[in-house]
Structure 1
Amino acid sequence: MSRRKQAAAVAPESLDLGHLALFVGMRVNDVVLEEIHAAGFTGLRYAHGFVFQHLLGGPRSIGELAGLLEVTQQAASKTVAELEKLGYVEEAGSEDARVRRVRLSERGQAAVDKGRAVRAGLEERFKRGHGSRAVEDARKLLADVLESLGGSEAVRSRRIRLPR
């Protein structure tokens, strides 16, 4: 039996800015999901947030969601069905019976509100631990870097895609 060679430990301070920002974001998302689940909003996954972002402005058709998410209508329909079963999305009705429109349910909006509250709590925690100035400087730096890479418009227009 051969033993796998253990990978050397990585010091977070040695990471490039892109990886460090990615890993911070991933950990924040994990904490938010953990707290959302603990509050009774079970079954939600990170990917569901990409659907929620497009329903915050009001009802959408499955075709619209598919286009915004850059997935097939079948994939969008499957995700919507899953969210409906969990109680986060509901039918919105449509003037055209051939077009199925959905919206966030009360439970879906409550999950969004809980997520926002958890994120606000984390911001306060970061400010207490690192100082308001450091948090604002970090936010400005990351926003400037995002702009320099051409990613700001996707954020402004809520057109963030699932990682590939």
Structure 2
Amino acid sequence: MASTPDRDLPLLLTALAAECDARVRARMAEAGHGEARTVHGYVFQHLLTGPVRVTDLAERLGMTAQGASKVVAEMERVGYAARRPDPRDSRARLVELTPRGLAAVEAGRAARAEVTAELLGALGPTAGEFLTSLGGLAERTGALRELLARRLRPR
């Protein structure tokens, strides 16, 4: 039995995720971070704990070193990341967040909180139940564990 779009959970979640992403990015642009892309968010998460080699970043993101290097170069151009020599290996370079990159992370967190409040507000009194159910589903499927372990990868 084929479901209709309004009863198709993957389709609804995809549509909502795209809308949330667009709203978050619009708010980030208003905060001076219009260059921020969704893929940058994945990189930010891996740089928050400290500098990382591009090859290690690529492995964590599930992409080639060339692909990770391209994203890092883009982030360098807009001032979110910087490379510096690895003190343990002069051939390697470490990637780290700049103060502008940290500001973008904070702007993203604030934007997500605003979008969350806005959308949950539209649900009214059922918002808490909805969020609890969605959180339970994310936990049951392992998606929440992957998110918290920073193992979600850009697609």
Matched, 1:91 2:76: no
With normalisation by structure 1, the TM-score equals: 0.83
| C-alpha distance in structure 2 between counterparts of 1:162 and 1:111, whole Å | 18
- For the 8 Å contact 1:59–1:92, the answer to whether it is kept is no
Partner residue in 1 for 2:128: 136
- For the 8 Å contact 2:86–2:94, the answer to whether it is kept is yes
Q: Quick check: which one's strand share is greater?
A: 2
Q: Quick check: which one's helix share is greater?
A: 2
Query: 1:32 pairs with 11, 24, 40, which one?
Result: 24
| C-alpha distance in structure 2 between counterparts of 1:75 and 1:48, whole Å | 12
1:31-70 residue pairs with structure 2 within 5 A?
Answer: 31-70=23-62
Greater RCO, 1 or 2 (C-alpha within 8 Å, sep 6+): 2
How many aligned residue pairs are there? 151
Structure 1 unaligned blocks of 5 or more? 1-10
Structure 2 unaligned blocks of 5 or more? none
Q: Which residue identity is paired with 2:144? A: S
**Identity within the alignment, %:** 36
Counterpart of 2:67 in 1: which secondary structure? Answer: helix
Query: 2:101 pairs with 99, 108, 121, which one?
Result: 108
| C-alpha distance in structure 2 between counterparts of 1:15 and 1:93, whole Å | 52
| C-alpha distance in structure 2 between counterparts of 1:103 and 1:126, whole Å | 33
- Deviation per CA, 1:42-92: give whole Å up to 9, x if none: 322111111111111111110110000011111111110110011000124
Larger radius of gyration: 1
- For the 8 Å contact 2:28–2:34, the answer to whether it is kept is yes
- Cα RMSD over matched residues? 1.8
Structure 1 runs of 4+ off > 4 angstroms?
none
